[in-house]
Amino acid sequence: MTKKLFVKTYGCQMNVYDSERMAEALGGEGYEQVDSPEGADMILLNTCHIREKAAEKVYSELGRFRPLREANPDLKIGVAGCVAQAEGEEIMRRQPMVDLVVGPQTYHRLPKMVQALENGEKALDTDFPEEDKFAHLPKLRTSRGPTAFLTVQEGCDKFCSFCVVPYTRGAEVSRSAERLLGEARDLVERGVREITLLGQNVNAYHGAGADGAEWGLARLIREMAGIDGLERIRFTTSHPNDMDDDLIAAHADCDKLMPYLHLPVQAGSDKILKAMNRKHTRDDYIRLIERIRAVRPDLHLSGDFIVGFPGETEADFEQTLDLVRQVGYGTAYSFKYSARPGTPAMERDGQVTDAEASDRLQRLQGLLGEQQRATQDAMVGRHVRVLFEKPGREPGQMVGKSEYLHAVHVDGPAELRGQIAPVEIVESRTNSLRGRLI
Ligand code: 5AD
Ligand code: SF4
C-alpha cells in the first residue's frame, strides 16, 4: 500500500533540490508525495537556518500539526535541513511529536531511518559522513519539467562572519564531474531543457574530471554544454573571489550559459566588508563586474545585501547605496542583519537598532526596486527567447523564462511546454513581462 508523504520546503534552491531527492529516496519505501499535510502518513519539514527565528518558526509550525497527529497516531513527523543540523536532538526534546531528525548530509540514510520509525523507534542523524550521499541515493526516476536544479557543490569555506552555512552545511565538497554529467544526461532524457547548477559556493567548484584532472566550474559548464538536448545552463550562488578568468570567459563563449549572474556583495563599505570577512574590497567587486560586462554587455546582475551589520554607520550604508547606483542590478535580495548563534559577528559591538536597520532596508529596497523596474521596462520592444514551463493564469496562456530569468506570459498553445520560442516583449507588469510569439 502506498503511503502519503507531505514535504514542506523553506529557504534556498538547494533545499528545493534536497526535498526532491528525499522524496525520491522515500519513494523506495512506498511513499508518494502529496500536496497537503491533511491525511498524510509522513510530514517532513525541510528547514532553513540562514536568518533569525528559524528554529522558532519550525517549532510553531510543528505545533500546528498536533491535531493531525491526534487524529492519526501513526502519522510520522520529521525535521530535515539546516535547523535539524543545528538543533539536533534538542528538537525531539522540545517537541516530542517529532519522530525523525535528519541533517542535509545524511538524507541518503532516510530509508533505514524510516524502517526504525516503523519499529516504533525514533531516528536522528546529523553526521557529516565520509561517504557521498549522492552516490547512495536512488537514480532519478520521476519525469521532470523543462527546468531542474542539480547540486554540484555543497558547503562553504569562506566563513563570512555573519553566516551559519559553514557550520550547518560543513566544508566545501565538490561532486565528481563524471557523475554530474551522467545525472545531467538523465535529466535531459526526462525532458529537462535547462539545468541550474547549485552550490553554496558554486563557483568554487573543483571536482574530479573525466580525465583525472580537477575541473573548475567553467570546465564543467563547457562539458555540460556538449549534451544534446540541454539548451540552457545557469549557476547559483557565487562568491566574487571565485570568479576566475575561465568562468568570466565562459559568459562570452558558451552559448548555453545564460546571461544572468547572481553575485552577492553584501555591503558597499570597505570597513564593513572587512568586518564581514568577505576578503574583497568594494573596488575589487566593481572592477570584477566591469570585466564580466566587458565580455557580456547584456548580463543581468543579481545580488544579496545585508543592512545593519554591527558597526554599520549611516556613512557606511550610504556607500552601499552608492555601490548599487554604480553597479546597477536587475534583481536583488536584501535583508536586515540577524545575529546567528555561533557566528563571529554575534560577538561584535555596535549593534544597529532595529528601527535604524528597518529604515535602511526600506531605502535600499526602494533603490533596488527602481532598478528592477527600469531593467524590466527596458525589455519592452525587445526580442527574447523564452523557455516555456507551464500554463499561465489565464486560459490559453503559457508562461516561461527569458534568457534573463524574467517570467514572460504569452498567448499560445500548451504544446509550447519545454520549447524555446522567440518572443517580442509588449508590456512590463509588476513581476513579469507580457510578450507575443514572433
Ligand atoms: N543576517 C542577514 N542576512 C544573512 N544572509 C546570510 N546570513 C545572514 C544573516 N546572519 C544573507 C546573505 C546571503 C543570503 C543567502 O542570506 O545576504 O547572501
Ligand atoms: Fe555564507 Fe559567505 Fe559562505 Fe555565502 S560565502 S555561504 S554568505 S559564509
pLDDT tens digits along 290-342: 999 999 999 999 999 999 999 999 999 999 999 999 999 999 999 999 999 89
The whole-number pLDDT of residue 393 equals: 87
Task: Grade residue 143 by pLDDT with cuts at 50, 70 and 90.
Answer: low
- Whether the pLDDT of residue 138 is over 80: the answer is no
Domain with CATH 2.40.50 in the chain: 383-437
Ligand 1 centroid to Cα of residue 337, in Å, is: 7
What is residue 49's predicted lDDT score, i.e. its pLDDT?
92
Using CA atoms, how far apart are residues 377 and 384, in angstroms rounded to an integer? 14
pLDDT at residue 134 is higher than 90: no
- Please indicate whether residue 309, judged by its CB atom, sits closer than 6 Å to ligand 1: no
- Please give the distance, rounded to the nearest whole angstrom, from the Cα atom of residue 50 to the centre of ligand 1: 6
Atom of ligand 2 nearest to the CA of 278: 2
- Ligand 1 within 6 A of 335 CB? yes
Q: What value does the mean pLDDT take over residues 366-390? A: 98
Closest-lying ligand to the alpha carbon of 333? 1
Average pLDDT over residues 68-81: 96
Between the CA of 205 and the centroid of ligand 2 the distance, in Å, is 14
State which ligand 1 atom lies nearest to the alpha carbon of 305. 17
User: Which pLDDT score, from 0 to 100, does residue 140 have?
Assistant: 64
Cα–Cα distance, 438 to 423 (Å, whole number): 5
The mean pLDDT of 69-82, rounded to a whole number, is 95
- pLDDT (tens digit, 9 = 90+) per residue, 275-289? 999 999 999 999 999
Q: Residue 163 Cα, ligand 2 centroid: separation in angstroms?
A: 6
Specify the CATH number for 3-125; select among 3.40.50.300, 3.40.50.720, 3.30.1490.20, 3.40.50.12160.
Answer: 3.40.50.12160
Kindly report, as residue ranges, where domains of CATH 3.40.50.12160 are found in the chain.
Answer: 3-125
The pLDDT of residue 368: 98
Q: Which three cell numbers stand for residue 425?
A: 516583449
Find the ligand nearest to 345 CA: 1
Q: Which atom of ligand 2 is nearest to the CA of 166?
A: 8
* pLDDT band at residue 201 under the 50/70/90 scheme: very high
List, in order, residues 6 or more apart from 193 with CB less than 8 Å away.
146, 147, 229, 230, 231, 232, 387, 418, 420
Ligand 1 center from residue 163 Cα (angstroms) = 6
Q: How far is the CA of 200 from the centre of ligand 2 (A)?
A: 7
Centre of ligand 2 to C-alpha 12, Å, is 13
- Cβ-contact 244, 218 below 8 angstroms: yes
Return the pLDDT at 312. 98
Position in ligand 1 atom list of the atom nearest CA 340: 10
What rounded mean pLDDT belongs to the chain?
A: 95
Res 210: pLDDT: 83
Tell me the pLDDT band of 141, cut-offs 50, 70 and 90: low
User: Which atom of ligand 2 sits closest to the CA of residue 200?
Assistant: 6
CATH classification (class only), 142-258? alpha beta
Contact 351, 336 (CB under 8 A): no
Among the bound ligands, the one closest to the CA of 239: 2
For the chain, give every residue range classified as CATH 3.30.750.210: 142-258
Give me the CATH topology for the region 383-437: OB fold (Dihydrolipoamide Acetyltransferase, E2P) (2.40.50)
Query: pLDDT digits over 5-62, tens only?
Result: 999 999 989 999 999 999 999 998 999 999 999 999 999 999 999 988 888 899 999 9
- pLDDT at residue 53, rounded to an integer: 81
Question: For the residues 161-168, what does the mean pLDDT come to?
Answer: 94
**Buried b / exposed e along 147-174 (16+ C-beta atoms within 10 A):** bbbbbbbbbbebebbbbbbbbbbbebeb
Residues with CB under 6 Å of ligand 2 are 156, 158-160, 163, 165-166, 200-201, 239
Ligand 1 center to 228 CA (angstroms): 37
Which of the pair, 161 or 341, is modelled with greater confidence? 161
Among 15, 48, 163, the mutation site with the greatest number of ligand 1 atoms within 8 A of its Cβ is: 163
Cα(357) to centroid(ligand 1), Å: 14
